[in-house]
A and B are shown apart, each in its own frame.
Chain A
Amino acid sequence: MKQTAHFIWHQERSLQGMDAIILPGGFSYGDYLRTGAIARFSPIMDAVVDFAGRGGMVLGICNGFQMLLELGILPGAMLRNRNLSFICEDRYIRVENANTPFTNHCEPGQILKLPIAHAEGNYYSNPVTLSALQANAQIVFRYCDREGKVTSQANPNGSLDSIAGIRNAAGNVLGLMPHPERGAEHLLNNEDGLYIFRSMISALEKHKTPQTV
């Protein structure tokens, strides 16, 4: 995609002038305690919180989403999947809000096929928070079936309101459980994830977000 990416070590304190931050998936600290619960204490996280607070673009994927919840940058929490097992498979999600820096290349209601791979992706929040998410169009993706219908059957993990991804109120931070980076290549039979990365690039080109320090 002709963009340069750098890894930043967890012990660092500076985000080194990046335009956007992606907290990727994985098993930070083995997820032995609670997903993302220890990673939030990494020295670099202060800089991430600060960057997000100043309107910087932050994308959290899977374990990255879980960290954003633990950090309180996004509201809510993750529970174990409804079936108590790890689930790895392609799933469909519906774009509920195409007016975000992460979805501006999508049509409203567009269906994306993306893999999920998690044991704790069962999103939960209290009713007040959920109402706020709904009211402010902060629910960006919902799990759906191939035709785009949001049903209990199409919800892989029991997530509240079939939530697959949410943004913060300001709109500069997105967390989602599916893996767009795993669906970004023809050889891997899936390019739907590119919509999200292309959206981010366009958004960055249009409105320079504050640079990290």
Chain B
Amino acid sequence: MTQDSKASPNIPLTSKIIEKHGLSEDEYQQILKHLGREPNLTELGIFSVMWSEHCSYKSSRIHLKRFPTEGERVVQGPGENAGAVDIGKGLAAVFKMESHNHPSYIEPFQGAATGVGGILRDIFTMGARPIALLNSLRFGELDLPKNQHILKGVVSGISSYGNCMGVPTVGGEITFNDIYSKNPLVNVFCLGIVKKDRLLRGLAKGAGNQVLYIGAKTGRDGIHGATMASDSFDDTSEKKRPNVQVGDPFLEKLLLEACLEFLEQDLLVGIQDMGAAGLTSSSCEMASRAGTGIDMDLVKVPRREPHMTPYEILLSESQERMLLVAQPGKEEAVLAICRKWGIDAAVVGRVTDDGFLRIREGHEIVAEIPAHALAEEGPRYERPAAPPQYQEFLQSLNIDTLPDVKNPAEVLLKLLASPTIASKRWVFRQYDHMVGTNTVVCPGSDSAVVRIKGTSKALAMTTDGNSRFCLLNPYLGGGLAVAEAARNLVCAGAQPIGVTDCLNFGNPERSDIMWQFIMAVEGIADACRTFEIPVVSGNVSFYNETNGLSIYPTPIVGMVGLIERPENIITQWFKQSGDQILLLGETKEDLGGTEYLKVIHSREQGNPPWLDMDREKAIHFCLLSLIQDGLVQSAHDCSEGGLLVTLAECCLTHPSAPFGATVILTQDRLRLDALLFGESPSRVVISIKRENITQVRELVKGFGVPSVELGQVTQENLDITVRGSSNQPVSQISLSLSEMGNAWHHSLARQLGTETS
């Protein structure tokens, strides 16, 4: 690709060149139709990135229409830099999640760092001040040194960029599976706050308006990054390292402050981040959205090095750059703010009314393409989809062939030490999760909670996804991710108000992958519709595949919830000895796809638990109501590892003083392992003050929610007695807090061979 980018723009376009640009013959024919002539090389490069999967969503777009995107609170739905929902008091929460998977495999530190940089720009381009970052990460198992290297690189990349920007990284989730060894996933979520009526959009409105370029100078880095992210990997992927960009968080910090000043002084018509496909995508998307054109002169673009070709300038993905549109007369004020913050800035063009993206180099026109054709009229595919033959094998687990658990205490310790379940403190202590003094609930509870200064409100945020469930049943897996995210928010005392998603899949040209994608989207859409939570933004990442091996289907759901009063903020850990422990929901024989089966029986098989959406919804209503009545001391979602892991986490996660619990369980027809480690959804472990137990049980009944009294919070030890239905003793588990703590707290650091203090 680099040779092409330096070639004369007028070389004849051979089929080899077209193929190297990732364009099919059919797509090339469409280009000819749009142009009414052959493109030159620069134009071919522009089409190549804009019509790449990464930028055009050509395989996913028709399916994404299934998402419910409307709701009373929606201020901005999908299609902009980020979505926005109304949170009252004239404010909107702006949020989005995005992937940076491909670059993070090739260069973990910079790949992850620039992922954070990109999502931050998506938020402050909307005029919002970013106040929280979260991330969902997937890595291969840590016994491979290479996977340790990727994890360490990604975490320090996120830490380096986010910390320097002064935006707290408040939460997220990490799971491990060897399927991610050659395709790790880095999904970053950011949320910002803006006055609702000051929301900015990526619109190049008004012919004659000025187009300004601000931020970093354009260099040769990241050329064709978007094309890279639209292809699978093989053993030569290391060579793509030069396609990864390098981040400069301090410059981004200056850019952020400058952009918020433009907003303050009302200087802009529109603004867009130069992300994937850089100057090209920002200009044609802004023009396309506004139904205008842009005329731009590349000679005026600030550059890092001499002799760059138009091809290189247009396709560079140098970080920390923005494109602005301002009315004539306001550009001087924009430039003055840029001078104050020490940022490069230049007027590079103007808005036209002819709908063309016209690129000049001085007097010579080097590219001339209808903006709408680039941004909106790219190919759309309804690719063939069919369940794979292996699906039946995956779901065919006869649980009776597996022995029931003999020593639950030992299993619990193993699960607590499993990196997917173990404490992620080694990771989040490297993230500044408190900067800005808004973080009310730090990492380590079901959701992070950040207060909104100047109001009594707070926002809870979570990112969730269970890719094993999605592998076994993508429809259920999608729905379960939404259910878990909503439950996590509710456990923090928040009403879910909006969703963003990041859909990570393999190669969409394969029918099994496309089937996984369509089913997962449907699952997410149906759950969001049932729970009445609109999807306001999102991102699709295909081609997470190396040497023909795809990742598990991994849709990640990012969800935001609103808390009106600070006294309703709830955390997952037990608060006080003597409190009563109650399980909301029902435990069924749900062992398919569990962490237990994977860790103990080395099986990733079976059917994931069925999600009863009405039951799930009832639990949300019930728990929120209990919390608003001030009846709940702690609430923790029951997920990976099942009931016993949930109880252990309730005991261990208090930031300063762990608690114990004495619990009695009744084994009623269930296998013992299903009772203790099964992952039935729609379950929450809550603790309540002893004097409120009767009232709470009455209220819970009124919501039609089943509940079981489990026992009480104690000072030390987790003691669990399992009795049969006729009260006979079945099993006795007794673990000290230090035994459990040793397994859970230090496992990750131990596997990484680093200190833990």
Contact = CB atoms under 8 A, between A and B. Distances in A.
Does chain A bind chain B?
Answer: yes
> Is the interface on chain B under 10, 10 to 19, 20 to 34, or 35 or more residues?
20 to 34
A19 interface: no
A156 B250 CA distance: 26
B163 A27 contact: yes
Interface in A133-174: 146, 153, 156
Given A85-B156, A188-B439, A31 B164 contact: yes
Contact of B451 (A25, A27, A187): A187
A118 B655 CA distance: 20
Given A31-B164, A87-B429, A89-B429, A182 B156 contact: no
A88 B434 contact: yes
Contact of B249 (A30, A83, A156): A30
B755 interface: yes
Contact of A117 (B248, B253, B434, B754): B434
* Most chain B C-beta atoms within 10 Å of own C-beta, residue among A83, A153, A156, A184: A83
B166 A188 contact: no
A128 to B, nearest CB: 30
B757 interface: yes
A30 B164 contact: yes
B250 A27 contact: yes
Contact of B440 (A29, A89, A182, A188): A188
A32 B250 contact: yes
A187 B566 CA distance: 8
Given A153-B757, A187-B566, A85 B430 contact: yes
B433 interface: yes
- Pick from A27, A32, A156, A181 the residue with the most CB of B within 10 Å: A27
A117 B430 CA distance: 8
Contacts of A115: 434
Contacts of A191: none
A26 to B, nearest CB: 6
B435 A117 contact: yes
B659 interface: no
Contacts of A189: 440, 655
B609 to A, nearest CB: 35
B432 interface: yes
B430 A87 contact: yes
B156 to A, nearest CB: 7
A12 interface: no
Given A90-B655, A187-B451, A83 B434 contact: no
A182 B438 CA distance: 9
Contacts of B432: 86, 88, 117
A107 interface: no
B728 to A, nearest CB: 44
B437 interface: yes
A185 interface: yes
Interface in B438-497: 439-440, 451
B250 A83 contact: no
Nearest to A27: B164
B159 interface: yes
B67 interface: no
A30 B250 contact: yes
B440 A187 contact: yes
Nearest to B755: A83
A29 B430 contact: no
Interface string B693-736: 00000000000000000000000000000000000000000000
Nearest to B569: A187
Given A27-B163, A115-B434, 20 more contacts: A27-B164, A27-B253, A30-B248, A30-B249, A30-B253, A31-B164, A32-B250, A86-B156, A86-B163, A86-B429, A86-B430, A86-B432, A87-B429, A88-B163, A88-B434, A89-B429, A153-B757, A182-B437, A187-B440, A187-B566
